[in-house]
Structure 1
Amino acid sequence: MSQFATQFGKVGVLFGGRSAEREVSLMSGSGVLKALRIKGVDAHAFDPAERGIAELAAEKFDRVFIALHGRYGEDGTLQGVLEQLGIPYTGSGVMASSIGMDKVMSKRIWINHGLPTPRFLTLDAKGATAEELRTVPDELGLPLMLKAPHEGSTIGISKVQGYSDMQSGFALCAKYDEVVLAEEFISGRELTVPVLGKGREARALPIVEIRAPQGNYDYQNKYFSDDTQYFCPAPLDEALTKRIQSLAVRAFNALGCAGWARVDFMLRAADNEPFLLEINTSPGMTGHSLVPMAAKAAGVSYEDLCVEILRMADLDLKPTQDWKPA
């Protein structure tokens, strides 16, 4: 039996799921499962879309690696189930996962902590009037971004170039959420910073700069295109690099995140000021994904990264000493 099989016991890799990001999760989870098995971990696939909670409990996993993205996997719901079952899991706990999945709540907390994020307002997906939509560009300027605040992987997102685009952009985002986030557009460079650890031990990995065709880092360019360019470490001076990495760790800790996450930024072209966009508490682990890219730049292989994340699996709500799961 390998060292890791003894150390970790029976491990479930949770991927697939029911969210709009199922396709990406299947790719992430397949990569993680293969990597853990290469390292000798006794890892088993588990798709919550095909198998229920009773089956998850019956597997008697000693810990699980969450490779689910989006709702029902990254938003605190599954984390709550695992807390009830007493199964340690990778990534953030119930509350941090829930907040991190909500772009609006994340921004509100960051603002409260004095962290920079683009100006924004929220719109009722079902009740916003045409008059309300017409006033949004007056407040935030043009262009602006419309987003479904509980989706990821650039699903439910629209760039509004003029007043005439507001209605169609809003309709697109409203398909995915009950609230639409309208956000000031920051023109500049797109950056992302993976963070590993927890609290004072949290550390930022090298920054990745993303240069997508026509500046459009959409679903296709994110996961399937070979035309998107990535620079890691990002070509930034040392002082700015450290500043952005520090902001990433502060943003991570402000939400109470743990284990791992990826923090997305825009670096404003006019003055090199960074702005927080969102945090991903269960980032992609596909062949195009950015956390493995940053880890590789830091000298950490994909397989070793998976093991390190698995090693940090924990229960967020510690049970009392004499409590034992059934």
Structure 2
Amino acid sequence: MLYGKLIKPLLFSLPPEQAHHIVTATLSLLGKVPGGRWLLHKLYATEDPSLEREVFGIRFKNPVGMAAGFDRYGHIYRELSAMGFGFVEVGSITPKRQPGNPKPRIFRLDAARALLNRVGICSHGLDRAVAHLRQPRGEAIVGCNIGKNTATPCDQAPADYLKCFRNLYQYADYFTINVACDPGQKAASYQTRENITKILEPLFEFRRGQNQYRPILLKVSPDLSDETIDLMTDIMLDTPLDGMVAVNATVSREGVDRLEATRIGAGVVSGQPLTQRALEVVRRIHTRSQGTYPIIGVGGLMTPDDVRAMLDAGAALVQIYTGYIYNGPGYVREICRALLEKKAAEN
């Protein structure tokens, strides 16, 4: 109630990136105050054994994660975990620091319950990420979303991914290989079997030499054709990939005010306009892989019903971001309670 009547109007009166900075700075500050994370847990978390699930060898306290992009730098994952998230994906993390595209670069499309962004990859670099992630994390489960620096030529991209992977390996619970994370790139132009394989093979080779096993997932774009989605799924079936993350934001303007989007200009859209396509992609991957590989479903999960639909489509876990912005910090609890109610009704 407080968020909807007071806090949300205040935050939405500010530019989106400024509002985001206020939220993340507040969470970071609370994490430094004795009892701060305990208070966040009491206010927002829901725990129940029936919410727990084991996916790619990791035990999650619930299936709801925070998508990459919210905790870009890996500095508030412990606070987000305390607020009830079953896991937090940080990043995208790149080897070198890069500021992303010029501001303003994030815009609200309130009528569509969506965001349009052209941030690119905004990263503090590998060293800062390691400094944050080596901190004691308690029960927090952290995935690292890794990408290449924008200035790195495509033929040198595998080296960027491997550098991130090697240096973050001991600090991550799983990795997401994000090959469609820069809105300035055409997703389909780079996502070929040859390019993806060149990125993945060095990671598999490095992992084979380690004592600990870290799952590797591939993130796919909703803008890929169904045939290319099938190709990405076949790569998963033919390699030691552990699963898929589907989907990223979209360049499509379907479901948004075209005049407003044209006025804002370039960027990718997340939120409600993405819901149906995200479900379609997850269902397609699940069907083609015969349900044998875990999928993290993300994109347009704006209501608990959307989350239930995503799980029914074949996702083992889900991630939220734009839905969290529009619904507020109680959204994870709302989803978890809806899942518990559904489970109770089925029994």
- What TM-score do you get using the length of structure 1 for normalisation? 0.29
- What TM-score do you get using the length of structure 2 for normalisation? 0.27
> Which structure carries more strand by proportion?
1
